[in-house]
């Protein structure tokens, strides 16, 4: 989809706009938006409302042709609910309905003249982002591995957003498009089958991104990981035929002396559970266990496209978690890069085993902050369902500030997180009789003990952990990666510039 912004005013009127379709809002009390009023010179919209052909309920639509007050071929009336307060939900359903209609009409260009500035508690930037992300969602295809491709998108290909085209709004449009493209990469990687999307594939994707956007890139191989003494990460790869890859991307868009933000992604390209093997049903979905890594790569695509003026390092620890005669066994004790020994009581708690070494590696960048992103625990879905990612930080002032920043970025981008605790007391649950730490806690609070396990490896910097087990993909008929939390991460980074 091609987007632009245009302000319509008394000289440059919406009535004289030559386009395939103009979408305007009508409300449940039969009132209409300013743009609709302007187009209603011949009374067609009033008549439509009177007749009850459109109710004004959020997401209802009625297409009119030959509206006498409009130079446009069509006028799409879109229900927007209550005219006093346009809620975020009403606006979103109106946008979804508009785009759905646009996709099935015989026009290639259209204007969205919905009340973008009137959404309660939201600004026009939010509304612009809402349209761009929704349009992108509608066009996304999952046919990469189908022999017969799905039909290409039809209908409207060019959307003009009718709103004040100030610099801020224009910047938001560019950022929204970059975020949408970043989300697409994250989704594509997540959806690819695990025999294709291997650690090597992720490394090659990072290399391609680096070439396209002039990022620095480094891919550490097994030998180098051994030299770094990443005994914990490597223990997860023991059962796999696929070589592990430790990927580092560098975008130095800020001042040379500025400390970077470091993003660390869990890149388990398939999680069988290892010797502590998972149950069969639904195991295919463990191809999504690299979505943390995918979100780091997607966020890098977004910041590359934006040319973000900030120093950002991306780290992806990628491997498979497989059972075999050489696989790590429950009870094995491994030594992590920072020297702590870990008793692997459950080989299915592998995410923390790869992340702890990646988090130790992050120290070398003297980071401003480190954020790790991981499909870490099924328990996070139990706690928060599929709406919020789990956010964990320590509770001193610096970390409270970081948590607030991330929560705000989530709200701003409609990619929300909810905070869960990290407290010293939970470390009791991770005690081992034979090693410094066990890799699972005693029963209860599995997402919290997982976060607390990671906390042990992050004491040299300010750090946050995002558990995206419930938000990275959808199951069931709509199975597919969501592209989350790229909007949250990208917005967080934009807000730091
Ligand atoms: N990748 C899984 C977590 C997961 C499971 C995410 C289901 C989304 C859906 C992770 O590696 C894992 O297996 N975690 C275990 C931890 C347990 C052994 C303490 C879990 O959540 O069951
Ligand atoms: Mn696992
Ligand atoms: Zn996993």
Distance in angstroms (rounded) separating the CA atoms of residues 115 and 91: 9
350 touches ligand 1 (CB under 6 Å): yes
Q: Specify which residues 290 forms β-bridges with.
A: none
Q: Which atom of ligand 1 is nearest to the CA of 449?
A: 19
What pLDDT digit, counting tens, does each position of 115-142 carry?
Answer: 999 999 999 999 999 999 999 999 999 9
176 touches ligand 1 (CB under 6 Å): no
Question: 428: annotated binding-site residue?
Answer: no
Average pLDDT for 27-33: 96
What pLDDT digit, counting tens, does each position of 334-351 carry?
Answer: 999 999 999 999 999 999
Question: 266: annotated binding-site residue?
Answer: yes
Distance in angstroms (rounded) separating the CA atoms of residues 245 and 150: 33
| Phi, psi (degrees; rounded to nearest 5) at 488 | -60, -50
118 touches ligand 1 (CB under 6 Å): no
383 CA distance to ligand 1 centroid (A)? 13
353 touches ligand 1 (CB under 6 Å): no
Q: Which of 141, 278, 329, 419 is catalytic?
A: 278
DSSP 458: -
321 touches ligand 1 (CB under 6 Å): no
Q: Which atom of ligand 1 is nearest to the CA of 375?
A: 6
Stated as kind and residue range, the H or E segment containing 430 is none
- Residue 59 gets the label, from left (phi > 0), alpha (psi -120 to 50) or beta, of left
The closest residue, in CA terms, to atom 7 on ligand 1 is: 378
Best substitution site from 288, 320, 346, 348 to test ligand 1's pocket, by max atoms within 8 Å of Cβ?
A: 348
Distance in angstroms (rounded) separating the CA atoms of residues 398 and 403: 9
Q: Which atom of ligand 1 is nearest to the CA of 276?
A: 18
Average pLDDT for 314-328: 98
Give me the percent of the chain exceeding a pLDDT of 70.
Answer: 100
343 touches ligand 1 (CB under 6 Å): no
Q: Which atom of ligand 1 is nearest to the CA of 278?
A: 13
The reported pLDDT for the residue numbered 468 is: 99
The band of 159, judged by pLDDT with boundaries at 50, 70 and 90, is very high
Interacting residues of 79 by C-beta distance below 8 A, sequence separation 6+? 25, 26, 27, 28, 54, 55, 56, 57, 58, 59, 60, 61, 94, 97
Question: 164: annotated binding-site residue?
Answer: no
| Phi, psi (degrees; rounded to nearest 5) at 285 | -70, -10
349 touches ligand 1 (CB under 6 Å): yes
Contact 362, 461 (CB under 8 A): yes
243 CA distance to ligand 1 centroid (A)? 22
Q: Which of 352, 394, 484, 496 is catalytic?
A: 352
Best substitution site from 286, 292, 377 to test ligand 1's pocket, by max atoms within 8 Å of Cβ?
A: 377
Q: Which atom of ligand 1 is nearest to the CA of 289?
A: 1
237 CA distance to ligand 2 centroid (A)? 13
What pLDDT digit, counting tens, does each position of 54-71 carry?
Answer: 999 999 999 999 999 999
Distance in angstroms (rounded) separating the CA atoms of residues 168 and 2: 19
Q: Which atom of ligand 1 is nearest to the CA of 470?
A: 8
278 CA distance to ligand 1 centroid (A)? 9
The reported pLDDT for the residue numbered 416 is: 98
The reported pLDDT for the residue numbered 344 is: 99
The band of 29, judged by pLDDT with boundaries at 50, 70 and 90, is very high
Average pLDDT for 182-194: 99
The band of 173, judged by pLDDT with boundaries at 50, 70 and 90, is very high
Is 479 annotated in the active site? no
All CATH 3.40.220.10 domain ranges of the chain, comma separated, are: 2-162
What pLDDT digit, counting tens, does each position of 208-239 carry?
Answer: 999 999 999 999 999 999 999 999 999 999 99
From the CA of 450, which ligand is nearest? 1
The reported pLDDT for the residue numbered 192 is: 99
CATH superfamily of 178-495: Zn peptidases (3.40.630.10)
The reported pLDDT for the residue numbered 496 is: 98
375 touches ligand 1 (CB under 6 Å): yes
Average pLDDT for 369-394: 98
Query: Which residues have C-beta under 5 Å from ligand 2, the single-atom ion?
Result: 271, 348, 350
Question: 2: annotated binding-site residue?
Answer: no
Distance in angstroms (rounded) separating the CA atoms of residues 277 and 271: 9
286 CA distance to ligand 1 centroid (A)? 9
Is 352 annotated in the active site? yes
Average pLDDT for 263-275: 99
The dotted CATH code for 2-162 is 3.40.220.10
All CATH 3.40.630.10 domain ranges of the chain, comma separated, are: 178-495
What pLDDT digit, counting tens, does each position of 351-373 carry?
Answer: 999 999 999 999 999 999 999 99
Peptide bond before residue 485 is cis, with ω within 30 degrees of 0 = yes
Contact 347, 359 (CB under 8 A): no
441 CA distance to ligand 2 centroid (A)? 14
Residue listed under structure tokens 């929204």:
176
The closest residue, in CA terms, to atom 9 on ligand 1 is: 378
The band of 307, judged by pLDDT with boundaries at 50, 70 and 90, is very high
The reported pLDDT for the residue numbered 412 is: 97
Distance in angstroms (rounded) separating the CA atoms of residues 257 and 184: 32
Q: pTM, whole model, 2 decimals?
A: 0.98
Distance in angstroms (rounded) separating the CA atoms of residues 242 and 232: 17
The reported pLDDT for the residue numbered 133 is: 98
Best substitution site from 328, 378, 452, 479 to test ligand 1's pocket, by max atoms within 8 Å of Cβ?
A: 378
Average pLDDT for 311-334: 99
| Interstrand relation of 311-321 and 261-271 (parallel, antiparallel or unpaired) | parallel
């Amino acid at each position: 989809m091609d987007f632009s912004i245009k302000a319509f005013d008394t000289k440059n009127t919406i009535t004289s706009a030559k386009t395939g379709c103009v979408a305007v809002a009508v409300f449940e009390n039969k009132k209409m938006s300013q743009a609709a009023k302007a187009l209603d010179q011949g009374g067609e919209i009033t008549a439509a409302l009177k007749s009850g052909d459109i109710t004004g309920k959020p997401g209802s639509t009625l297409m009119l042709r030959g509206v006498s007050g409009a130079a446009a071929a069509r006028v799409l009336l879109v229900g927007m609910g209550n005219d006093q307060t346009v809620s975020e939900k009403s606006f979103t359903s109106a946008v979804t309905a508009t785009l759905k209609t646009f996709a099935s009409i015989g026009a290639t260009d259209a204007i969205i003249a919905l009340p973008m500035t009137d959404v309660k508690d939201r600004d026009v930037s939010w509304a612009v982002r809402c349209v761009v992300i929704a349009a992108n969602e509608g066009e996304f295809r999952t046919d990469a591995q189908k022999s017969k491709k799905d039909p290409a998108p039809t209908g409207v290909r060019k959307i003009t957003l009718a709103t004040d085209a100030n610099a801020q709004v224009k910047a938001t449009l560019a950022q929204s498009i970059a975020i949408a493209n970043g989300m697409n990469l994250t989704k594509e990687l997540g959806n690819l089958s695990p025999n294709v999307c291997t650690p090597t594939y992720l490394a090659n994707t990072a290399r391609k991104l680096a070439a396209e956007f002039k990022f620095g890139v480094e891919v550490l191989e097994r030998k180098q990981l051994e030299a770094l003494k990443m005994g914990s990460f490597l223990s997860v790869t023991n059962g796999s035929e696929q070589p592990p890859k430790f990927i580092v991307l560098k975008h130095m868009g800020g001042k040379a002396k500025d400390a970077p933000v470091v993003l660390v992604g869990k890149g388990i390209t398939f999680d069988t559970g290892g010797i502590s093997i998972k149950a069969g049903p639904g195991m295919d979905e463990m191809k999504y266990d690299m979505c943390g890594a995918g979100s780091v790569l997607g966020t890098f695509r977004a910041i590359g496209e934006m040319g973000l003026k900030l120093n950002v390092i991306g780290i992806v620890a990628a491997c498979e978690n497989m059972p075999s005669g050489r696989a790590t066994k429950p009870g094995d004790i491994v030594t992590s890069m920072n020297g702590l020994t870990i008793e692997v009581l459950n080989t299915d708690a592998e995410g923390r085993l790869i992340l702890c070494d990646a988090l130790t590696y992050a120290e070398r960048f003297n980071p401003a902050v480190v954020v790790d992103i991981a499909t870490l625990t099924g328990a996070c879905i139990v706690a928060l369902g599929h709406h919020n990612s789990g956010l964990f930080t320590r509770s001193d002032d610096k970390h409270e500030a970081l948590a607030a920043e991330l929560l705000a970025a989530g709200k701003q981008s409609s990619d929300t997180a909810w905070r869960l605790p990290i407290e010293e007391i939970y470390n009791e649950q991770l005690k081992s009789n034979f090693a410094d730490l066990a890799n699972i806690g005693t029963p209860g609070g599995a997402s919290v003990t997982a976060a607390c396990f990671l906390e042990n490896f992050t004491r040299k910097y300010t750090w946050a952990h995002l558990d995206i087990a419930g938000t990275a993909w959808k199951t069931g008929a709509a199975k597919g990666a969501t592209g989350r939390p790229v909007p949250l991460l990208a917005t967080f980074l934009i807000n730091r510039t």
